[in-house]
Amino acid sequence: MTYSNPQIFIVELIGTFILVIFATGSIVYDVQIGGPYGTWFAAVAPFIALIIGVYSFGKISLAHFNPAVTIGYYITGHISKIQIIWYFAAEIIGAILGSLFVMSFIGTEADLGANAPNYDYSLFLIFPIEVLASGLLMAVIFTVVYTKGLKGFSGIAIGGIVGLDIFFLAFISGASMNPARALAPALLSGVIDNLWLYWSAPYVGTIIVAFLFRGKLLNHRKQENS
């Protein structure tokens, strides 16, 4: 079944809204209560959100919830140029609404859960780590889409890699992997100094992986259609 761009817009907005509430709200809440949970809590929350989003909306929009992932899907021919606009609009609006929800109902601590790199490390490490985290996410997404054995576990696999990236890499780069998730809390908290990182490195990571997968995925679709 083919879904319309407005339908895709709605589910991408809802999915990104849920993701941002879980991903940033968990950080705000943990800081509010004195930080007893730490990194594992910040990793598990988006894992749960993506399980909800992927299984609820994956068949409609492929469950991007992330502008960098949208660009990856465009490179591999899954979406058109005009659809990029629909996806980007939905993801950014959904993220901002998510941060507004966190601000209104959870709190404003920790800059609304905005991503921040650890400047104890060099930018020459921080940037590649964020590229790596985003690339791993894109690679798992493409593997799930084109590996029959993983299709039933798509939400777990995609949510899992996001959680693992956060757990193992956030202490260096912040492990956003998602320009929309980074943008919303930064704008609403006024802490925008690190946005350049999260609006560059995730795209580099997903674009590299998309080009690596592009030929294989296009051939796969040709075989399916033949």
List, for residues 7-59, the tens digit of each pLDDT value. 999 999 999 999 999 999 999 999 999 999 999 999 999 999 999 999 999 99
| CA–CA separation, 206 and 51 (whole Å) | 20
Q: How many CA atoms lie within 13 A of 135 on its CB side?
A: 15
Give the Cα separation of 87 and 10 in Å (integer): 9
For the entire predicted model, the pTM comes to: 0.94
Q: Within 10 A of 114 (CB to CB), how many other CB atoms are there?
A: 28
Question: Does residue 77 contact residue 217 with C-beta atoms inside 8 Å?
Answer: yes
Is 5-225 a domain of CATH 3.40.50.11740? no
- What distance, in Å, lies between the first and last C-alpha atoms of the chain? 19
Distance (Å, rounded) from C-alpha 67 to C-alpha 83? 12
Residue-wise pLDDT for 100-120, tens only, equals: 999 999 999 999 999 999 999
pLDDT tier at 2, thresholds 50, 70, 90:
confident
Alpha-carbon Rg for the chain in angstroms: 17
Counting every residue written for the chain, the total comes to 226
